[in-house]
Amino acid sequence: MSDLFRPFPHALADRLRKTLIDADYTVSGVRDRLGDMASRALAREQLTPALRATGGEERLGILLRLWWLQEPVAAGAARAVLPIDDKSDRSHVVL
């Protein structure tokens, strides 16, 4: 199998799904967290209101900065939020 595509092991995918749900990383959770002003600003490709809305070290804010806003997140913060437990998990995720 190509190194470019390695499917997630089912156990890792299940842990990731649980992590996202527990962090309220859902359509409504993200909408509520960003609010109207930050959502409208993102539609205009303005990140500052969304960065303010996602500040802090709690799970949803970290996930939004990492994936939605594609902003740097400290490796320790990402590891604390994401369900990466062992070396076999790390081969599927680059932090």
Predicted confidence (pLDDT) per residue in 5-14, tens digit = 677 788 888 9
Local structure of residue 19 (DSSP, 8 states):
H
Mean predicted confidence (pLDDT) in 55-59: 90
Share of the chain above pLDDT 70, in %: 82
Cα angle 25, 28, 32 (rounded to 5 degrees) comes to 95
What would the pLDDT profile of 12-53 be if each residue is shown by its tens digit?
Answer: 889 889 999 999 999 999 999 999 999 999 999 999 999 999
Cα separation of 62 and 68, whole Å? 10
Q: How confident is the model at residue 83 (pLDDT cuts 50, 70, 90)?
A: confident
Q: What is the pTM of this model?
A: 0.78
Tell me what the pLDDT averaged over the chain comes to: 85
